[in-house]
Structure 1
C-alpha cells in the first residue's frame, strides 16, 4: 500500500492512498487578501498554494474540518470544492451548503471505491477555541480518522483545528494511530481574546503526540496567516529538542509529494 502526502497551503494537503485522492481543507487563494472570520476576527493571508488548482481536478474526496473560517476554506477553495463535489464535513456545514455529507463526532461514513477497500471516514471531536470561549463563537469543528483495509500499524488521524483537550484522550482510547496529521500554528486573536489559543502550539502538539503515540507526526496549518502566532522556526526548534518525537516528526516541504 503506497501512501503519499503533498502539502498545498495551510491545512490543505493531498493524500494519495493507492491512487485514491483525498484533499483536506481547501485553501487555494493567493497571498495578500484580508479576510473576516466572524465575531470581529480579521487576518491576512501571507502564503499562496504550492500546487496549481489544475493539478487537483482528479481529486476523489474532500474532507473539510469546518467551513466557517477562511484559513481552512477560502474563496477559491470553496469554489473548487463545489465544482468537484463529494465533500464530508460537519453537520453545520451540511445545513448551509448543498451536497455536503455532514458528520457528528464519532459518526462514520463508508466511501465506495474500487481503489481502496472498505474506506471509512470517522469524525473526531475538536475544540477550536480557548476553554472559556463558548463553541458558537468559533463554530463546530471536527477532525478525521481515515480507515481502510491493509493498515497494519494503525489509522490516519487528522486533528482539524483544535487545542489540546479531553476529546483527544478519547481519540487515543478508541484508535491506534499510525500517522498523525496535526493542525498547529498557535492561532490567536490577541486584540479580542488575549493569549487564548484556537489551535495547538508546539507544546500542545507534543502533548497530543505523547498521548496518541503515532509512528509519524506531521504538523500542518503552521504558517500562512497573520493570526498564526508561533513562528515555524520556533515550532521546529521545540520539536528538535524533544528526544522522543524529533525523529518521528515530518516537516513537509510545500508542493513536494512525500511518501509516508
Structure 2
C-alpha cells in the first residue's frame, strides 16, 4: 500500500462513526473507529492555559460533546495533564469502560479496569476486538526510577487486534526503542502505529532529555515495527513538545520511511488505512 497516495483525509471527526479511521483531536488525544467500536486514548479537552508546570498552547480541534458516545477510553497514564486533564477525566469516567495500567486504575476508580503489560481484554461484540496492554518507558533508559521501577511514572501502551481486523499500536508516552523491539517480536507486522512523538522535555526532569520519542526514534520505531502506516500524535499543542511536523517529516525522509508517514490535520479523520 502506498500510504501517501491511498490515504484520504476529508471528513471532520464527529459522532458519526467510520468503518475504520483514525483522527487526532489534539496533543495525544486520538480517536479510533474500528470493528464497530469507538476508542479514545488519553482524552484532553481543557482549553489552552497553564496546567501546573506545563503550558497548553492549543485547545482540542473537536469537543467531547462532538465525539458523542464512545465504547472504551484508553489511558496511558493519569498523572500528567498533557495526557489526562480535568475535562478528559470527566469524559473518561462517563465512558462504559476505561482500560489503563494498575496504578492509574487504582487512582481513577470505576469504570477503570487494570491491565498489566501483556495482559489483554476482549471488548464485547462482533467481531471480537482485543486490547492488549504493552510496556512503555516515559524517559531515557538510565532515568531515575521510582519505588515501583518506573521512569517518571507508570505508562501503558496498547495494541488493538482481532481476526480479519487491522493491528493498531498506540505507543503512549514511550521513549524506548527496546520496548518497541519487544512489541515487534510479539507482533510480526503492525498495520497502523500511532506514535506519541514530540520529544517532550521538561527542564526539571531527566536533565531535560526527551521523555517521549524524538522524530528520529519515531522513524526507527516505524522500521522496527514494519508498520504500514505511521500516524504521529503528541507533537503539538503543548510548550514542552520540542519537535514538530517538520522534524518528523525530515527524520522519516532521512530514514527512507516517508512513504509510511501520514500526518493528519487536527480534528479530521484519516481514512483509507486498510
2:85 to 74, 80, 87: 74
1:35 to 48, 51, 61: 51
Contact 1:127 1:165 in 2 (8 A): no
2:23 and 2:224 mapped to 1: Cα distance?
Answer: 26
Q: How is 1:1-260 mapped onto 2 (pairs within 5 angstroms)? A: 2-31=19-48, 33-36=49-52, 42-99=53-110, 100-114=112-126, 117-136=127-146, 138-151=152-165, 155-175=167-187, 176-243=189-256, 245-259=257-271, 260=273
Unaligned segments of structure 2, at least 5 residues: 1-17
2:190 and 2:47 mapped to 1: Cα distance?
Answer: 33
SS in 1 for 2:191: strand
SS in 1 for 2:33: strand
Residue 39 of structure 1: aligned partner: none
1:50-103: CA deviation from partner (whole Å, max 9, x where unpaired): 112212221111111111111010111111111223100010011112111111
SS in 2 for 1:124: strand
Contact 1:216 1:248 in 2 (8 A): yes
SS in 2 for 1:227: coil
Give the number of equivalent residue pairs: 249
SS in 2 for 1:188: coil
Structure 1's consecutive aligned runs of 4 or more residues displaced over 4 angstroms after TM superposition are none
1:186-214: CA deviation from partner (whole Å, max 9, x where unpaired): 01113443341100111111111111111
2:91 and 2:174 mapped to 1: Cα distance?
Answer: 25
SS in 2 for 1:208: helix
Greater shift, 2-11 or 187-196, is seen at: 187-196
Contact 2:105 2:113 in 1 (8 A): yes
SS in 1 for 2:255: coil
2:136 and 2:128 mapped to 1: Cα distance?
Answer: 25
1:21 and 1:192 mapped to 2: Cα distance?
Answer: 34
TM-score (norm 2): 0.86
2:180 and 2:247 mapped to 1: Cα distance?
Answer: 24
